[in-house]
Structure 1
């Protein structure tokens, strides 16, 4: 079995390029991979498409990326409370694809499962149906929602073993479980690194088959 431990956040995000799509875990301040967010800034990449629940809420989160103007587009559910993003959006400097939260998670899950999309009644008859295919099933209208994929998923875990099996800290899990299935490179910063066998198998939330890089987060 492979050892997926890397030295630090910089090694975890190595290979990220201009124009890549990046999934970033976190819900408000919970489960945000702060070390890798800072490391991406050091890479000097530009024109990123970001998939996340929200667009930052100030501090050491996605607000840093918007402050550095490295994001071209964000696909998210809750851009409110993100002042830096809001200023750029109003100025027309960044693109927003607003997606209902359940739809966002299911689009990511569809991407990870290799599906061509899924049907949902959410958004029918609203602005969310613009540009989307409608499908009628048993007399009811549904929207065809397309899957989401990324080059990188940047996640925050609680514990991982050196093989990449990991768990999360309560609600800090948020969207990370599905994001771990839908990217070419899945990088995770964790609070504790363990040897194989030290994690309770029943407590493993994301198995190692989905994880490419793990590093120990520096103390806050």
Structure 2
């Protein structure tokens, strides 16, 4: 039952080249930076990443992206990540861009054992009809486009079929975790982390505070330990290392 791994390097040691990863985080909040850095140091590439975005401000997944380690991204936001946009438009990586709510539900569905579901999001657009550029050819043309998806009518409304997502591994960050893998997330850092962990066949969590089993009230658990295979306790310095993407101050 003790799922604690001594170091982040040991926790990611068996992630092979070409693996698929569900990664928690939104912007700079709740990003498993320590696990990502450990994976970067391993030097594995050809990774398929499922995450809301692909890192920001040269942190998080942006570290793997800049090193050319990511081959495919399933996400909902490119944003201000200029390197992400450059690689996509240059045809250096494949991108499946989907609505943010659909991404969340596809991860949750995969973790819950639901192979597919219907949603109104994207009906009447290229999300459902196909033709979204997944990969460019580097010269402005589309080398690979999204296929059309099944659309059905239910009670007078039209819905598109979306498939649940399962990945080989998941990397997440939690505020607290016990040795059994039960996790608690802090405020907005909860974001995609529980969903990513559910979707991964092997979920690895870095926790800012490691506690003993029973120290977390069962009613306070955000993600049960049944979804988590490995836990890495961060040092106080690692736990305190939290950057601010856009600082807003009053005059």
Pairwise TM-score range, normalised by the shorter structure:
over 0.9
1:24-44 residue CA offsets vs partner (Å, 9 max, x unmatched): 100000000000111111122
> Residue 172 of structure 2 aligns with which residue?
155
> Residue 38 of structure 2 aligns with which residue?
39
1:187-207 residue CA offsets vs partner (Å, 9 max, x unmatched): 000111111111122111111
* Distance in 2 (alpha carbons) for counterparts of 1:206 and 1:181: 9
| Contact 1:58–1:83 under 8 Å retained in 2 | no
| Contact 1:180–1:186 under 8 Å retained in 2 | yes
DSSP-derived class of the 1:125 partner: coil
| Contact 1:57–1:83 under 8 Å retained in 2 | no
Query: Is structure 2 residue 190 aligned with structure 1 residue 207?
Result: no
1:43-192 matched pairs, under 5 angstroms: 43-129=42-128, 130=130, 131-192=148-209
Structure 1: runs of 5 or more not aligned: none
* Distance in 2 (alpha carbons) for counterparts of 1:186 and 1:163: 13
4+ runs deviating over 3 angstroms: none
Query: Is structure 2 residue 214 aligned with structure 1 residue 197?
Result: yes
Deviation, structure 1 residue 136: 1.7
Structure 2: runs of 5 or more not aligned: 131-147, 242-251
Deviation, structure 1 residue 139: 3.1
> Residue 138 of structure 2 aligns with which residue?
none
DSSP-derived class of the 2:34 partner: helix
Deviation, structure 1 residue 97: 0.5
Deviation, structure 1 residue 138: 2.5
* Distance in 2 (alpha carbons) for counterparts of 1:62 and 1:74: 11
* Distance in 2 (alpha carbons) for counterparts of 1:142 and 1:117: 12
Aligned residues: 219
Larger Rg: 2
TM-score, scaled to structure 1: 0.96
Deviation, structure 1 residue 59: 2.4
1:90-125 residue CA offsets vs partner (Å, 9 max, x unmatched): 111011100101000111111111112110111111
> Residue 18 of structure 1 aligns with which residue?
17
* Distance in 2 (alpha carbons) for counterparts of 1:166 and 1:138: 39
DSSP-derived class of the 2:71 partner: strand
1:142-200 residue CA offsets vs partner (Å, 9 max, x unmatched): 10001111011100000111111110111101011122211111000011111111112
